[in-house]
Amino acid sequence: MTSKFLNYELFALTPVELKQRQSHGNVNYMDLDYVNNPIPQMPRSDFFKHGDIAVTKNNRFSYVPAHTHSFIELNYMYAGTCTQYINGEK
């Protein structure tokens, strides 16, 4: 894969990114119930449809709300910066 193709794929705006950039807020595209469960668990089924490893692009232009999951999440920054909080610690 060439870096030109990778840049095109990673920097292309998704529909969620367009909404988040316009609203300056988070779009709950997974319909998680933050009212009854302020720190919901991410559903495995949304990530592991094709095997035991999932590579996904996070949506930009908003924070990621607090959440939990029953799998390991490994973040890689291709460009830019990110501040992570795990169990309330920076």
> Which pair of structure tokens corresponds to residue 83?
């501040």
Spatial contact of 58 and 20, defined as CB atoms under 8 Å apart: no
Element (H, E) at 9: helix 3-11
How confident is the model at residue 40, as a pLDDT? 94
What pLDDT does 1 receive? 59
Amino acid letter for position 14: T
| 10 close to 78: Cβ distance less than 8 angstroms | yes
What is the average pLDDT value for the chain, to the nearest integer? 90
Residue 25's pLDDT band (cuts 50, 70, 90): very high
